[in-house]
């Protein structure tokens, strides 16, 4: 036994059956505790959310919808799933919620299944410009089975809405997707709706990254405009890994059928219970404060990096995410992400607009504030984090051991200031 509090019990149970896996989970717990997590799509769930993921609900088959199942014995999971639906609708002000998608990509797949047919034209943001694989990348089902027209961002990292409109008028898509995995500006969902209406297309808003900001009013909501809104539950929303689809009542039946039996089998009721808990947490006043702090922290990090002479795509951030542009320093995203890992900071390399490097090398690093904000980081800690990053950039090709060691120490100090999963 060590000092992980409730985690100890869970580890102890696993150790008895499988020491190899238990050791690796313990190592992962330590990694999460002792590194600064700046991957913009990650977060730390509450122990209640985690406990639900590990509950007896994993044993239950519940194909179908609450109170309309293909299996017996669903009286408890029916109520749990209904709670999750009610809370999702309340949090986002939506008419209908399907809480069964296993992931964000599966939520999007279900919308495709309902809204378009193979070969139809679909518009989405290009992956290298900040879009998601499931918005039409050639290596994804969306790019394989549909005629994809991609839009991008300008050199300031902003969507050019006039260009989106021109493309829509020219290609007449049946579905337009907005929302991104790496976009640091506010998205004008109303403008997207006007464009979609002009060409008689459905509008899908994928808020996987900004869900918490939308839920708390710190980012305009697409719910009044979009036919469908998809989200992950494990990013800013701080729930278990999974997805949710919100839609207008008129699409409810079709969307439900597209999820099951369209693209999924039995729902993961243990994850749905964890979603219900996360949604309850997200409805609390503390969560609103959390969402506000995410933005304050992102702005503090961007400010610190700029102060240190580094460039941020678009000159800053309006949400939780930003891309460090390393072209001026003549460094690569790959080298910087690797040296950051040695220095105790986890982040991912990312392309910048018009990146001269390949997607495997890149000239950028994506940084996000949701996870560190959960563990308690405030603006002052983000400023120190920015300074550590700036020092790491300088030695990204040489990786001088003495400096790496010094930076690792500074990262660890910040982590120790805000213990994670210790009680
Ligand atoms: C993360 C993300 C997804 C996919 O989520 P998974 O759960 O990994 O499938 C979909 N859309 C956007 C915009 C995302 O950022």
CA nearest ligand 1 atom 15, residue: 181
Backbone angles phi, psi at 366, to 5 degrees: -90, 135
Give yes or no: residues 336 and 362 share one domain.
Answer: yes
Residues 270 and 304 grouped into a single domain = no
Q: Is the Cβ–Cβ distance between 231 and 282 less than 8 Å?
A: no
> Could you tell me the distance, in angstroms and rounded to a whole number, from the CA of residue 81 to the centre of ligand 1?
22
- Same structural domain, 144 and 64: yes
Structure tokens at 377: 């980081």
Ligand 1 close to Cβ of residue 206 (< 6 A): yes
Asked whether residue 388 falls in the same domain as residue 331, the answer is yes
- Whether residue 307 lies inside any domain: the answer is yes
Q: How many angstroms does the Cα of residue 394 sit away from the middle of ligand 1?
A: 32
The pLDDT tens digits for 16-43 are 999 999 999 999 999 999 999 999 999 9
Q: 253 and 323 share a domain?
A: no
Q: Which of 41, 105, 264 to mutate to test the pocket of ligand 1 (most atoms within 8 A of CB)?
A: 105
pTM of the model: 0.96
CATH number, domain containing residue 74: 3.40.640.10
Res. 374: pLDDT tops 60: yes
The tokens of 178 are what?
Answer: 């907005």
Please check whether residue 102 is in contact with residue 245, taking contact to mean a CB–CB distance below 8 angstroms: no
Tens of pLDDT, residues 77-122: 999 999 999 999 999 999 999 999 999 999 999 999 999 999 999 9
- Residue 248 DSSP SS3: coil
Which of 257, 282, 307 is where one domain is finished? 282
- pLDDT per residue as tens digits for the range 161-198: 999 999 999 999 999 999 999 999 999 999 999 999 99
232 is catalytic: yes
Number of domain units in the chain? 2
**61 tagged catalytic:** yes
List phi, psi (to 5°) of 365.
-135, 130
Q: Is 294 helix (H, G, I), strand (E, B) or coil?
A: helix
Does 205 share its domain with 306? Answer: no
Are the CB atoms for 212 and 237 separated by under 8 Å? yes
Residue 129, ligand 1, Cβ within 6 A: no
What pLDDT score does 1 carry?
A: 46
Find the 56 Cα to ligand 1 centroid distance in Å.
27
Interior CA angle at 399 toward 393 and 402, to 5°? 110
- Residue span of the structural domain in which 201 resides: 56-282
Of 405, 419, 302, 420, nearest to 344 (Cα)? 405
């Amino acid at each position: 036994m060590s000092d992980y509090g409730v985690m100890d019990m869970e580890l102890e149970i696993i150790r008895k059956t499988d020491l190899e896996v238990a050791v690796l989970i313990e190592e992962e717990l330590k990694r999460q505790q002792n590194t600064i997590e700046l991957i913009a799509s990650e977060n730390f769930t509450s122990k209640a959310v985690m406990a639900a993921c590990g509950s007896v609900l994993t044993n239950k088959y519940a194909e179908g919808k609450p109170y309309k199942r293909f299996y017996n014995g669903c009286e408890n999971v029916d109520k749990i799933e209904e709670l999750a639906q009610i809370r999702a609708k309340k949090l986002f002000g939506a008419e209908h919620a399907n809480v069964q998608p296993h992931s964000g990509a599966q939520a999007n797949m279900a919308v495709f299944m309902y809204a378009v047919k193979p070969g139809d034209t679909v518009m989405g943001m290009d992956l290298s410009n900040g879009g998601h694989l499931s918005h039409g990348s050639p290596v994804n089902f969306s790019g394989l089975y549909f005629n994809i027209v991609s839009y991008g961002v300008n050199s300031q990292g902003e969507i050019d809405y006039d260009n989106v409109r021109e493309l829509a008028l020219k290609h007449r898509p049946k579905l337009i997707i907005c929302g991104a995995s790496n976009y640091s500006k506010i998205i004008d969902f109303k403008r997207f709706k006007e464009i979609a209406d002009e060409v008689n297309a459905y509008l899908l808003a994928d808020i996987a990254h900004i869900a918490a900001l939308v839920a708390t009013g710190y980012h305009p909501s697409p719910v009044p405009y979009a036919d469908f809104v998809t989200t992950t539950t494990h990013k800013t929303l701080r729930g278990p890994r999974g997805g949710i689809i919100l839609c207008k009542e008129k699409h409810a039946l079709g969307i439900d059928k597209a999820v099951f039996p369209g693209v999924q089998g039995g729902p993961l009721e243990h994850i749905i219970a964890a979603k219900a808990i996360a949604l309850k947490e997200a409805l609390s006043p503390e969560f609103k404060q959390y969402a506000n702090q995410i933005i304050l922290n992102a702005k503090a990090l961007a400010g610190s990096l700029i102060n240190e002479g580094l460039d941020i795509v678009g000159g800053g951030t309006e949400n939780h995410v930003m891309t460090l542009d390393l072209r001026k320093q003549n460094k690569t995203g790959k080298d910087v992400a690797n040296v950051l890992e040695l220095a105790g900071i986890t982040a991912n390399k990312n392309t910048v607009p018009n990146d001269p490097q390949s997607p495997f090398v890149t000239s950028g690093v994506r940084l996000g504030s949701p996870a560190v904000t959960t563990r308690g980081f405030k603006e002052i800690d983000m400023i120190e984090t920015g300074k550590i990053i700036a020092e790491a950039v300088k030695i990204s090709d040489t990786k001088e051991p003495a400096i790496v060691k010094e930076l690792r120490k500074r990262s660890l100090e910040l982590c120790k200031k805000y213990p994670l999963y210790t009680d």
